Structure 1
Amino acid sequence: MDGFSDLNLFALVARHRNLAAAAREIGVTPPAVSKRLAQLERRLGVRLMNRTTRRLSLTPEGELYLANGLRILDELSELEQLVGRGRGEPTGMLRVNASFGFGRAYIAPAISAFVERYPAMQIQLHLTDRPLNLQDEGFDVGIRFGEAPDARVNARLLLANRRMACASPAYLQRNGTPATPHDLARHACIVLRENESAYGTWHFSRGKRTETVKVNGALSTNDGGAALQWALDGRGIVVRSEWELRGPIESGALVPLLGAWTLPNADIHAIYLERHRLSAKLRTFIDFLGDYLRAS
């Protein structure tokens, strides 16, 4: 099993691109990891990584070893799942990426419920302000909004989710209620700077008719939670996802606007790499997550 052990270590270091980070994860020292990698390279007779003081990069041989090695590790995991299926529960590690707001509100509680049901599972949740590349960062599954971003990944719809324009009653009392999307150009709009979307451009549709509005206002941010709070404070009109707005709308703290018009959807997907399509533990996790979100 030394070969599998070395392969697991190499995959871990390749994921982190950093000896110290990999060493922390498995509870050893960086020199111990470096020594194991050097022994692996001597055994294979090729250099797998180029080392600098800041970061590691894979050689062409290292890329080949990683790509095929991950497939072998997946197949081994599947074999263990198949043999141990009589126990009735998945085992192993999953690394999950999600956004800060949705990750804290829904994914973290879902994971807590998941490991309560499947105590043999281990989950690493990594929250970020923007989606990470699953392949480059070594994640098994990512939680994404809208369309699946990359043709190289698979996507499973977890929950339908609309985007909506809203404002507080106090703001609407002072400034009036927009009747059409183009009325928004005369309003204070809270602009969110995120991902690569066009800054301050909102797209509406109604049947076959579309309207694109360039909005602006005194406030902008890269954080959805801050934008929502400003809207609650009466500072302007905001566009956010239904999962964030349901509570404030039901309480009357926010009023939905332009109900006859729709914005690009923000459906919630689990995305995963093609090589994971048969993973029993991943399939179980995604099924559980979809059920949890729909129930929530």
Structure 2
Amino acid sequence: MNDSADIRFLLTIRESGSLIAAARKLGLSPSAVTQRLQQLEKKLGAQLVSRTARRLQFTDEGTLLCERGADLIEQFDSLFDDLQMRRNGLVGTLKINAPLGFGRRHLAPVIGDFQQQNPDIDVALTLSDQPLTETMDRFDIVVHIGELPLSNRVGYAIAPNARFVCAAPALLKRLGMPESPDELSRLPCIVLRENNEDVTLWQFSKGRTRRSVRVSAHLSCNDGDVIRQWACEGRGVILRSEWDVADDIARGKLVRLLPGWKAPDANVMALTHQRVGVPARTRHFMQFLQSRFKPVPPWRR
């Protein structure tokens, strides 16, 4: 294997999930894709992909080649991006994945402005309710909110973001204001399903004191806008990011509960593949993104 095209070909098969889908993406016939794969395996003297009627599975050799090859391709592209930038400016495609609500409200405007200032860059934004469960290798940047699980990605701080317990004034008038986290268990609550977390276990701290409360949630959704609207309608208590509820609290639609107790922060981060060899367009977007949330993020202005 002496051509990066072979690695790109194999990575396309992995991203597509099937030879037929890969053929569509490559603009080839399925038989041509199969033949090229066989030639590549013959050249390397190893089977790379196990092909059955029902599924396509990479062998250990194929997996190793994809993992190591993806790093090489990224460095290769980064080198030529930097050379191109020196000559003509920023170019290429930037693929970004982000949570639904935050992506719509705060990230989309930033991306629109960035692309307008850098017209030779194409930006592909994907919004998801579970961005970390997506195939992260498909994206140059993954925006994440909250605690970061173990990952080989490199994280960059974008903005601070607290989490507040909130409810509508009408609900509090009917059921009373809770004085401690334990009292939340008697109130109707609404939860956001995301990232396979235990969403009905709410945790709080006050100094060295810790409280964990199992709430009763008869309403749940994977879209934060929906649960916030339900809360504004007085249907239950929510535990939600500051970026999402700050406006409603300021307007009196929601009331912050238990201000003396602190829920775990859910700071905004951007994740990239690695520190070395990151394309110029990715680095410049990261700097642009960070600048838009400094010195304080929009929800604290």
TM over 0.5: yes
Alpha-carbon distance, 1:24 to partner? 4.0
Residues in 2 aligned to 1:25 and 1:118: alpha-carbon distance in whole angstroms: 27
Query: Shift in Å at residue 160 of structure 1?
Result: 0.7
Of 185-194 and 129-138, deviating more is 129-138
Letter in 2 for 1:186: R
Counterpart of 1:244?
A: 244
Distance 2:250 2:93 in 1: 39
User: Using a 3 Å threshold, how does the CA distance of structure 1 residues 101 and 29 change in structure 2: closer, same or farther?
Assistant: farther
Aligned pairs for 1:6-17 within 5 A = 6-17=6-17
**Which whole-Å deviations, capped at 9, do the CAs of 1:37-63 have from their partners, x for residues lacking one?**
333333333322122344422112212
In structure 1, what is the equivalent of residue 192 of structure 2? 192
Residues 74, 277 of structure 2: 8 Å contact kept: no
1:192-231 equivalence runs, <5 A: 192-231=192-231
Distance verdict in 2 for CA 1:71–1:197, change over 3 Å: closer
Alignment CA distance shift 1:133-1:59 (3 Å):
same
What amino acid maps onto 2:33 in structure 1? V
Q: Which one-letter code corresponds to 2:126 in the other structure?
A: H
Shift in CA distance, 276/9, structure 1 to aligned 2, threshold 3 Å: farther
| CA-CA distance at 1:238 after TM superposition | 0.6
CA shift in 2, pair 1:135/1:225, >3 Å? closer
In structure 1, what is the Cα distance between the partners aligned to 2:289 and 2:216? 37
One-letter amino acid of the counterpart of residue 142, structure 1: V
CA contact (8 A) 1:23 1:29 kept: yes
- Whether 1:273 and 2:273 are equivalent positions in the alignment is yes
Q: Which runs of 5+ in 1 are unaligned?
A: none
Count residues in correspondence.
Answer: 296
CA displacement at 1:264 relative to structure 2: 0.7
Aligned-partner Cα distance in 1 for 2:142–2:263: 23
Moved more, 164-173 or 64-73: 64-73
Aligned CA RMSD, in angstroms, stands at 2.6
- Specify the code of the residue in structure 1 equivalent to 2:261: W
CA shift at 1:130, angstroms? 1.1
Q: Separation in 1 of the partners of 2:104 and 2:162? A: 19
What is the alpha-carbon distance in structure 2 between the residues aligned to residue 45 and residue 14 of structure 1? 20
Q: CA offsets, 1:188-208, max 9 Å, x none?
A: 111333333324111111121
1:141-176 residue CA offsets vs partner (Å, 9 max, x unmatched): 211111222242211111111111111111111112
- Structure 1 vs Structure 2: percent identity of aligned residues? 38
Superposition pairs for residues 243-262 of structure 1, below 5 Å?
243-262=243-262
Alpha carbons of structure 1 residues 74 and 100: separation in structure 2 relative to 1, 3 Å? same
Is 1:189–1:236's contact at 8 Å kept on the other side of the alignment?
A: yes
Conserved in 1, the CA contact under 8 Å of 2:75 and 2:277?
no
Matches within 5 A, 1:104-183: 104-133=104-133, 137-183=137-183
Determine the C-alpha separation between the residues in 2 that align with 1:148 and 1:187: 30
Q: Deviations over 1:230-256 (max 9, x none)?
A: 101111111111111122112211111
Aligned-partner residue type, residue 257 of structure 1: L
Q: How far is 1:102 from its partner?
A: 1.8
Pair 1:59–1:110, CA change in 2 (3 A): same
Q: Where does residue 70 of structure 2 map in the other structure?
A: 70
Unaligned stretches of 5+ in structure 2? none
Cα 1:15/1:217, change in 2 over 3 Å: closer
Specify the code of the residue in structure 2 equivalent to 1:50: S
Report the Cα distance in structure 2 between the residues aligned to 1:35 and 1:111, rounded to whole angstroms. 40
State whether residues 134 and 272 of structure 1, in contact with CA within 8 Å, keep that contact through their aligned partners in structure 2: no
Q: Distance in 2 between matches of 1:114 and 1:54?
A: 43
* Contact 2:96 2:125 (8 Å CA) reproduced: yes
CA contact (8 A) 2:132 2:195 kept: no
SS of 1:274 mapped into structure 2: coil
Change (3 A) 1:104 1:136: closer
Q: In structure 2, how many angstroms separate the alpha carbons of the residues matched to 1:246 and 1:89?
A: 39
Distance apart, 1:122 and its partner CA: 2.6
286 and 23 in structure 1: CA distance in 2 versus 1, 3 angstrom threshold = farther
Q: Any conservation in 1 of the 2:48–2:59 contact (CA below 8 Å)?
A: yes
* Equivalent residue number for residue 44 of structure 1: 44
After the TM superposition, which of the residue ranges 88-97 and 131-140 deviates more from structure 2?
131-140
For residue 189 of structure 1, what is the amino acid of its counterpart?
A: C
Distance 1:54 1:94 in 2: 33
Counterpart Cα distance in 2 of 1:201 and 1:60: 39
Q: In structure 2, do the counterparts of structure 1 residues 293 and 36 end up closer, same or farther at CA, with 3 Å as the change threshold?
A: farther
Partner of 2:94: 94
